[in-house]
Structures are given as structure tokens and as C-alpha cells.
Amino acid sequence: MSKYSIKEFIEATEVEEQKDEYFQLETPRILEVNLKEMVWAKLGSMVSYTGDIKFERERLLEHGTSRMFKKAFTSEGGTLMKATGEGQLHLADKGKRVTILELNDDIIAVNSNDLLAFEPSIEWDIKMMRRVAGMMSNGLFYVVLQGKGLVAITSHYEPLTLKVQENLPVMTDPTTTVAWSGNLEPNIRTDINYRTFLGRGSGESFQMEFEGNGFVIVQSAEE
């Protein structure tokens, strides 16, 4: 249907009645958080809210000096904001598709650009793939999350999950890699030679290589 009356448009797009789920998808690209206390979310991801909610940018020393130094050297270290209070909060990130994952004592690593929100019960830390430093944005930063609770990640269009098996490694483009199972330690494969510097390379000069048993999630557009 391409044309709506005002009434029809409101009925088709209005917010659903509040449910008990802490995280739920209001649309495929908008996350609704039924906030009762606190949630961590990507800085700048708030679309709208109702109720009494306050927002505070994550402070450098909020999680100790170790994370402070990681965040001081990069603008891509997973900058977060803390939303506290009660109400309905809607989050989104540049129209990217939202996926809700439930961790049950699991560990998952997420590219810092693709982490939208997570429950305060989740433990997390920032990591950097140092071998990528100097090749892209001073390195590839990602966030390792573990414990019990909900995590919301984003992807350009529908995500694709690839199984990683023994003797069958998976290679991905770092700019399209969204997340991977926390037991995997990605390596960097490089294919840089004089043709790369002359601008005659394939454009895929380095890749992430995943070995072992687990999964990796990719998206169809570069970050």
C-alpha cells in the first residue's frame, strides 16, 4: 500500500502497547527498551523516549584506568551513554538492522561500531587488534561481552552468520565483520605488496582469519 489516510498511517506505524520484555524490536531498525533502572547504549543512539529518563555520557574513569587509556587513544573505543530511570526508550543507529541476542553465560565479541545496547548485568571490556593499527583507523576496536542478559547489535541489512570449524577457517573483511564467538581469536592476514601501494591491488589487502570452532557474523555493506 503506497497511500494512507492520516488515521491509517498512525495505525500502521504507531508504537505498540508496552510489553514486559526489557528489549524488543519496535521495527526491524528501532530497538525499544522498557527501562526500569539502567541500560548502556551507544552514544547518540537515542531516537525518542517517554517517562523519566536521564542520559549521561560514559566517563573516562567510570570503568577504571585500563579502559580509560584504551578510550583516550581512539574515537572508536565503543563510546557509551548511560540511560537511567523509568520509561520507554527507543534506540537506533543510522537505519541499521537491529538484532537482539540473549547471553546465557556466553561470550561474544562485537565490533564497537555495531554495538547498540546491553543490560547492566553484562560484563564487558574493550579490546584492540594491534596488528591492524596503522592500516585502518589506528586499529580495530571491539567489545567483549559476557554473562547473562540481553545485547543488541546492528548490521547493514540482514546479517549473515558463518560457522567456523576445525581445519576450515573463515576469512572476512574487517569492515564488514560485525561479531564473533568469544572463544575465537581472530588473526590478520595481509596481502600487501608493491601493487597495493601503486593502487593496482585487489582492494582486499588484509582480512580477518577465524580458526577453531565457533561463528562469525558479517554484514553486506562496509562500515
Which set of grid coordinates corresponds to residue 137? 583507523
| One pLDDT digit (tens) per residue for the chain, 223 residues | 667 777 877 777 787 765 678 999 999 999 999 999 999 999 999 999 999 999 998 665 455 544 544 443 344 445 789 999 999 999 999 999 999 999 999 999 999 899 999 999 999 988 877 655 555 554 578 899 999 999 999 999 999 999 999 989 999 998 899 999 999 988 887 765 544 444 444 445 678 999 999 999 999 988 7
HSE, CB side, 13 Å, CA atoms: give it for residue 100.
Answer: 19
Query: 30: which strand partners?
Result: 27
CA–CA distances in Å: residue 183 to residues 149, 212, 213, 216: 18, 9, 8, 11
CATH no. of 17-218: 3.60.160.10
Contact 25, 63 (CB under 8 A): no
pTM over 0.85: no
